[in-house]
Structure 1
Amino acid sequence: MKAKSESLTAKQTIFYLLLSILLNSSGNGLTVSLNMGSALWTASSVNLSHLLNFDLKPLLVIYGVIVVITNTLLLGRIEPRRIINNFLFMVPFGYLVGWTSQLFNLLPLNQLSTPLKMLLDCFGILMVSAACSIYQRVNILLHPNDDFMQIIRFKFFHGNSTVAMWVSFVPPIIVSIICIIISRQIYAINVGTAFSLLFQGSLIGLADKIIFPSLKHHGVEQAVN
């Protein structure tokens, strides 16, 4: 990936980051509330939350810490600024997902027909994909999960978002399977999860081209090499 682009202004950076964080947390919160299938990382967190009887909000943060360590091992070096930026994104994001899901729970979503809930759930996945595309291109504050995908995408798969996303989904799939085997219960895994597994990587690549197309990937080579 060798796209060149002008530096973003402070106002542009703040706008893109705030928009993407709002989109991501709202999309994840919507899918958690609908319980028609969340993105795989969120779905695995929900299942682990039920298994451990632990609040989802701090669990999302703990989950992120483990991924930060994994990213450091993949890079083969410690980058304090990158780690701090991961935490600056991760901590408020984890709580925002919890809060937005609680807000959506106040709406009569469960009274909707199943097909409509499925469509809304897939729309939540679309929101998450668009958000990932935006803040991965800004490349200043990233959630550790998305940083993990970005490292894999440009370090090993020549920018191919689809393959990188599939590979990055392996850890949450394993966690979900373990939780389901132990608890014999399934949470947040449904049509939306399959939609995320099959299409989220491709949707991120598509969003790169059609959502703010003038926004290019910044500092990728330095970040993954």
Structure 2
Amino acid sequence: MAKGLFWLCFSVLLNAFGNALTIKAAFGSAPWTAASINISYATGLTVGTVLVMMGSIVLIADDLLRRRWNGIKDIFNFLYMLSFGYLIDFWLFALQTFTISGWIVRIGVCVSGILCIAAALSIYFQVNLVLHPFDDLLKILREQYLHGNVVRAQRISLGIPLAIGLTISLFRHQFVGINLGTVISFLCMGYFILLFDHYIHLHINRDALTHWHRQHAFHRLKHSKA
């Protein structure tokens, strides 16, 4: 269990760092991050704050689509989302003195950030303790509404932030956060995750994780009957 928690914490740090690199490179970010950058520019809020706000809205939407509150899992998913959002702000603050110039360097930093995100997601999915609301949305759409069609689920779940980012960019007459990196993330992230799955093997004690899930499910059922 402790090993799973360690890798979960490591994955959120790596994921936030990768997103910060794509933002710093200014060559396009993953769709949800790109939408957050556009809202950040329009409102003056930090990218991490916007991600937390959007994640909270999606968390509620997930429960509405699921037609039930997800209990203790929602709380853990919220805490994961909160730490992820503000860790991006932390990394952006830590990297603010670094200057990235030249389009070749920017592309290199952007791709490095995307690969960091893919490695982090590979770890995160292997640990399988919590789900970010954005990922939970994809899972719900795939399993409950699209008969297991992951391609359509991904297009819909990622199409939402892309539409938000593009709409704000058109109104502001300035494209921010949407570029080559967005295209690479949208089209290739799944393949990158599979690549890291071949090289990253955590060997986590599944019995301990199963016990953890069952324990919290029991508490949720107990409270619901109270």
Relative to the length of structure 2, the TM-score reads: 0.82
Deviates more, 1:175-184 or 1:207-216: 207-216
Query: Is 1:200 the equivalent of 2:192?
Result: no
Q: Following TM superposition, by how much is the alpha carbon of 1:34 offset from its aligned partner in structure 2, in angstroms?
A: 1.2
Query: Is 1:33 the equivalent of 2:24?
Result: yes
In structure 2, what is the equivalent of residue 105 of structure 1? 96
Compared with structure 1, are the counterparts of its residues 204 and 165 closer, same or farther at alpha carbon in structure 2 (3 Å cutoff)?
farther
Unaligned runs of 5+ in 1: 1-9
- Contact kept? 1:126, 1:203, Cα under 8 Å: yes
- Contact kept? 1:136, 1:146, Cα under 8 Å: no
CA distance in 1, matches of 2:173, 2:30: 20
Q: Following TM superposition, by how much is the alpha carbon of 1:116 offset from its aligned partner in structure 2, in angstroms?
A: 2.3
After superposition, what is the alpha-carbon deviation per residue over 1:121-144, rounded to whole angstroms, capped at 9, x for unaligned?
011111112212222232222221
Secondary structure at 1:107's aligned position in 2?
A: coil
State the one-letter code of the partner of 1:207. Answer: F
The alignment's C-alpha RMSD in Å is 2.5
After superposition, what is the alpha-carbon deviation per residue over 1:66-99, rounded to whole angstroms, capped at 9, x for unaligned?
1101211222211121210111111121111012
CA distance in 1, matches of 2:191, 2:38: 25
Q: Following TM superposition, by how much is the alpha carbon of 1:35 offset from its aligned partner in structure 2, in angstroms?
A: 0.8
Q: Following TM superposition, by how much is the alpha carbon of 1:100 offset from its aligned partner in structure 2, in angstroms?
A: 0.5
CA distance in 1, matches of 2:202, 2:48: 33
How many residues end up aligned between the 2 structures?
209
Compared with structure 1, are the counterparts of its residues 95 and 45 closer, same or farther at alpha carbon in structure 2 (3 Å cutoff)?
same
Q: Following TM superposition, by how much is the alpha carbon of 1:147 offset from its aligned partner in structure 2, in angstroms?
A: 2.2
- Contact kept? 2:14, 2:120, Cα under 8 Å: yes
State the one-letter code of the partner of 2:118. Answer: S
% identical aligned pairs: 33
CA distance in 1, matches of 2:194, 2:84: 23
After superposition, what is the alpha-carbon deviation per residue over 1:43-73, rounded to whole angstroms, capped at 9, x for unaligned?
1100011122323232211111111012112
After superposition, what is the alpha-carbon deviation per residue over 1:10-42, rounded to whole angstroms, capped at 9, x for unaligned?
221112101111110000011111111111100
Secondary structure at 2:95's aligned position in 1?
A: helix
CA distance in 2, matches of 1:179, 1:123: 27
CA distance in 2, matches of 1:90, 1:213: 22
In structure 2, what is the equivalent of residue 7 of structure 1? none
State the one-letter code of the partner of 2:165. Answer: S
Secondary structure at 1:79's aligned position in 2?
A: coil
Q: Following TM superposition, by how much is the alpha carbon of 1:104 offset from its aligned partner in structure 2, in angstroms?
A: 1.8
Could you tell me which of 101, 122, 128 is aligned with 2:117? Answer: 128
Secondary structure at 2:130's aligned position in 1?
A: coil
Could you tell me which of 51, 54, 57 is aligned with 1:63? Answer: 54
Q: Following TM superposition, by how much is the alpha carbon of 1:165 offset from its aligned partner in structure 2, in angstroms?
A: 3.0
Q: Which has the larger radius of gyration?
A: 2
In structure 1, what is the equivalent of residue 14 of structure 2? 23
Secondary structure at 1:109's aligned position in 2?
A: coil
Where is the helix percentage greater, Structure 1 or Structure 2?
Answer: 2
Secondary structure at 1:169's aligned position in 2?
A: helix
Secondary structure at 1:108's aligned position in 2?
A: coil
Query: Is 1:138 the equivalent of 2:127?
Result: yes
State the one-letter code of the partner of 2:83. Answer: P
Could you tell me which of 44, 50, 53 is aligned with 2:44? Answer: 53
